[in-house]
Structure 1
Amino acid sequence: MLKIILFIFQLGLVFSKQVDLDLLMPNVSPKVKDSYLCKKFKMDDLNPIYINEFEANSTKEIAHHILLFGCDEVGEEDVWNCGEMNSGGVHDDYKQGPVCKGRKQSIIFAWALDAPKLTLPKGVAFKLGGDSDNKYLVMQVHYAKVDNFIKGGSDNSGLKLKGQTEPVEYTAGVYLLSTGGYINPGKVEYFEAACEMNEDKVLHPFAYRTHTHKLGLVNSGYVVKHDGEDWTEIGRRSPQLPQMFDLVSNKVSVRKGDVLVGRCTMKNFVDRAVHVGPTGDDEMCRFYIMYYVKGDKILTNNNCVTLGPPYWYLNNFKDSRGNKLNLDEMPSDASEIPDEQKELIKNGSGQHHDHEIKENTILKVDTKS
């Protein structure tokens, strides 16, 4: 339900419009383990809104994760089974379909493991509706456990968004590095992705998020400049902590010709090979980069995907000029959990406070880098 709240100021009849957007599942009841259900929400084609705050209405006991996508076109169903790699079950009451039906699909937000509320810097927001490609929002909820639903329960998990109707100076987007692949039992493995930035835009990363399942030790992300020689860390975090968007490690811009790199370091402690897949017993390697650009046009391609181990590693990468990455310059701590995070994991805790990314720590970015 979209509520526009008008605050009328006495001086000069100035109108300020706040947007509250509640994206909730309509009391769904999936009966198949590891169900992925999607719910669509139509945006206004004429009047865009600008969202700068995200909060989950769920817990990790109910939802394994929640993803929010922007789509230019969707199917006819209001709620449907949108698992990427599963075909549904014989007792599933929901029709199967992709997240988006059209050619444009982008990730806007992701949540898991009781991550806290996220507030973007002042002046930065996601543009939804209007002339953007985000004609619809599609919320995907992964229900790993369904015992309560089989007993007759239902769920209205979702996201609560806040923002405004006034345009902002900077538009946010999310770039995703991910892989396929598998890891053999008893092994440590690197799941790696790298893609060259081939669009003539300047990106300013300001937050990042890591995601794996049970085997992930640490995920790290980098921007690499100067023909593969100059590595700058964007972020490094254990995915066993609350999977929140956290402040980037370094302020750096990303320009055409630069390379974005992601690595997930995993250790397989089970007695079977574990493949990348959709269920909680599979694995995933994802490194999200939340960025902003000046104006209202973000990247047209926000995804970088590789085959992963044992088929693809960083030494397989070549840019458009034929340059490989100089892996000798890759930071030696790329697969190390930061010390302060080790203590959080040891104590079984994490950063569960609401997470506001301050304007003065983000928007003063070195535009010459």
Structure 2
Amino acid sequence: MGGRHTLHIVGAVLILIQATCCLQVKKFPLLMPNVYPDREESYFCTPVRVVPDKSFYIVGFEPVATMDVVHHMIVFGCSKPGTTDPFWDCGEMASDSSSTLRKANPCAEGSNVIYAWALNAKPLQLPENVGFQVGEGSKIQYLVLQIHYSKKFKENESDNSGLNLIYTEEPQSKLAGVLLLGTGGAIPPRSVTHMETLCQIREKKTIYPIAYRTHTHSLGQVVSGYSVRRDKSGVDHWSLLGKRNPNTPQMFYPIFNKGPIRYGDRLAARCTMDSTNRTDYTIVGPKHDNEMCNFYIIYYVEEGTPLDMKYCISEGPPYFYWRNEENDLNNIPDDEASNLI
């Protein structure tokens, strides 16, 4: 992999570990270049270009961050980054006109999430023979690290949080992808609200889920995700992919049901949000007092490339619910989806 800094290139060459008995892997440090968050709710992005004439396979992620400093971080794969600056302001709601940083999205083209971290989550290693392909033969030509800092730093402080990418140049037989299920919407005060999303696999590919991750801010109580398959008699069968209290470490956990998800199946997620102690509406947004409802799925394909579909996003409450007639769902597991037991 190529990098902005010589240090990155040297680190990538010299630091070797053994992930399995036979796979030679290297570490690549993808870190913030000593940024200074000069206000609350700062979002910074920093890019690295992948060497264009080689293929690499990312097989693991090692966080180099703590929740005391970093609210959350995401690694995007991009065809083109938002800019090629060493770092930039990539907050969705960046409005501080005094900032001298360029404002841009993480990706200008071909955006897809390949990793996310929060709440002191542990490292992630993919199963044997599974990897995210980047570089030649892939649409991912850049990797962009986005970090959300919820607090303003003191003067003369800076940060180089990030993560080590564990990668190999040996081709992996199973290519990995990430599908993000999420919602928009608004949560009314003094209520328990379900934020829900639903989408159908419309590509003639079979995916095998291997890990899931939940993400909300402070109102989230339970996040659950399902695959839904309809039998010939018209009955929907809901298979639980994962369920968790999002206030626990927001790492990727082993999937509950590893069965294949095929063309025509649907994916669904629900976040149960408790706003009984709030007196105003809570909207979806990037700030810590906004909310998010996200369910990530890491999967692999045994043939071909991962799904072109990267995101499954609904309008959320008060407009979108599983029970809406146009969704044509039945056998909905209301109690299971909303409770940890």
The one-letter code of the counterpart of 1:106 is: N
Of the three residues 52, 60, 64, the one matched with 1:57 is 64
1:157 aligns with 2:161: yes
Listed as ranges, the matches of 1:272-291 within 5 Å are: 272-291=280-299
What is the distance in 2 between the residues matched to 1:42 and 1:141? 18
- In the alignment, which residue of structure 1 is the partner of 2:19? none
- In the alignment, which residue of structure 2 is the partner of 1:4? 13
- In the alignment, which residue of structure 2 is the partner of 1:119? 125
Of the three residues 321, 329, 336, the one matched with 1:325 is 329
1:76 aligns with 2:80: no
8 Å CA contact retained: 1:231, 1:331: no
- In the alignment, which residue of structure 1 is the partner of 2:4? none
1:215 aligns with 2:219: yes
- In the alignment, which residue of structure 2 is the partner of 1:359? none
8 Å CA contact retained: 2:33, 2:86: no
Of the three residues 241, 245, 254, the one matched with 2:252 is 245
Secondary structure at 2:176 match in 1: strand
Assess, with a 3 A threshold, how the Cα gap between structure 1 residues 260 and 60 changes in structure 2: closer, same or farther: same
- In the alignment, which residue of structure 2 is the partner of 1:137? 143
Of the three residues 307, 314, 335, the one matched with 1:306 is 314
| Structure 1 residue 18: Cα displacement | 2.5
| Structure 1 residue 106: Cα displacement | 0.7
Secondary structure at 2:335 match in 1: coil
Assess, with a 3 A threshold, how the Cα gap between structure 1 residues 162 and 207 changes in structure 2: closer, same or farther: same
TM-score, normalised by the number of residues in structure 1: 0.84
8 Å CA contact retained: 1:4, 1:17: no
| Structure 1 residue 168: Cα displacement | 0.7
What is the distance in 2 between the residues matched to 1:117 and 1:265? 27
Give the root-mean-square deviation of aligned CA atoms: 1.7
What is the distance in 2 between the residues matched to 1:296 and 1:256? 14
8 Å CA contact retained: 1:31, 1:91: no
TM-score, normalised by the number of residues in structure 2: 0.90
Listed as ranges, the matches of 1:155-194 within 5 Å are: 155-194=159-198
The one-letter code of the counterpart of 2:13 is: I
| Structure 1 residue 237: Cα displacement | 0.3
Listed as ranges, the matches of 1:84-103 within 5 Å are: 84=92, 86-102=93-109
What is the distance in 1 between the residues matched to 2:41 and 2:215? 17
1:294 aligns with 2:298: no
8 Å CA contact retained: 2:195, 2:317: yes
- In the alignment, which residue of structure 2 is the partner of 1:255? 262
What is the distance in 2 between the residues matched to 1:329 and 1:189? 16
8 Å CA contact retained: 1:44, 1:129: yes
- In the alignment, which residue of structure 2 is the partner of 1:337? 340
What is the distance in 2 between the residues matched to 1:267 and 1:209? 20
8 Å CA contact retained: 1:45, 1:131: no
The one-letter code of the counterpart of 1:191 is: M
Assess, with a 3 A threshold, how the Cα gap between structure 1 residues 163 and 285 changes in structure 2: closer, same or farther: same
- In the alignment, which residue of structure 2 is the partner of 1:270? 278
8 Å CA contact retained: 1:211, 1:286: yes
Q: Tell me, which stretches of 5 or more residues in structure 2 are unaligned?
A: 1-7, 17-21
Q: Tell me, which stretches of 5 or more residues in structure 1 are unaligned?
A: 8-14, 339-369
| Residues 63-82 of structure 1, C-alpha deviations (whole Å, 9 max, x = no match) | 10000000001223221111
| Structure 1 residue 16: Cα displacement | 6.8
8 Å CA contact retained: 2:27, 2:165: yes
The one-letter code of the counterpart of 1:138 is: V
| Structure 1 residue 17: Cα displacement | 4.5
Secondary structure at 1:4 match in 2: helix
